[in-house]
Amino acid sequence: MDSLRPPQRRYDYVTDGQEIYRRSFGMIRDEADLAGLPASLHSAAVRIIHAAGDVDITRDIAGHAGVAAAARAALHAGAPILTDSNMLASGVTRRRLPADNEVLCTLRDERVPALATAWGTTRAAAAVSLWTDRLEGSVVAIGNAPTALFHLLEMIRDGAPRPAAIVGMPVGFVGSAESKVALAEHDLGGDQVPWLVVHGRRGGSAMAAAALNALANPDELA
C-alpha cells in the first residue's frame, strides 16, 4: 500500500477538523449543566469536559471565584507557567499565550533525583522545590502528581513566594482526591491563592492543559 495514498473510505465519519470542533463544543454546551459554576469558569469547564470526553465531570469542577481573572492578569503581565510534567507543558498551546510566556517543567533537572532521595519523596515533589525563584506571581498547573501539589502547598505555608493561581488536577488513586481538597481548603491567614480543581481521582495532564489554554484565551474555540 502506498502510504501517501488515502485508504478506501469504509466508514461514515466527519473528516473536517473545524467541523469536529464546532460540533464537539456545541454538544458540550447543549449537554453540560454549568449553572453551578461562576460564568468566569465556563470556558475552562467546557474545555476540561472536552479533554475528559465526559459532561458528568462538570459536577467535580470547582474553583476560587477569582481564579480566572488572576491567571489571566498574570499571563498578560508575562508570568511563567510552571508545570509538574513535560506532557502538561507540551499540551499548552503557545499561540494562546498573551505574552509569549515561558512554560517550565523542572522534572528533568539533574538535581531532582538526589533531592528526592534525600527528602524521601517523589521526583515530582522534589522538582517543585526548584521553582522558588520563579514562583512569585506565576501560574502553576499540576496534572500528574498529587505529591507535587502537596509539596507546593507546604512550601507556600512555610513562606515560599505565592503564585498568582494554581490549577490542581493531579490524577490517580493515592492522594489525588486529598491533594485537591487540601488546595481548595488551604488558608493563608484568611487568604487563598486562587485555585481551580477537578475533585476526585480524575484529572491528568490533558485536563490541566485544557484548563490553562482556556484561562489564557477564553474566547477562542479550540
Residues serving a catalytic function are 50
Residue 137 CB coordination number (10 Å): 17
The pair phi, psi for residue 207, each rounded to 5°, is: -65, -45
> Which element (helix H / strand E) includes 100?
none
Which residue has cell 525563584? 133
What lies within 8 Å, CB to CB, of 120 at 6+ separation is: none
> Which element (helix H / strand E) includes 183?
helix 176-185
Which three cell numbers, joined as nine digits, stand for 188? 493563608
Burial of 87 (0-12, 13-18, 19+ CB in 10 A): middle
- Rg of the chain, C-alpha, whole Å: 18
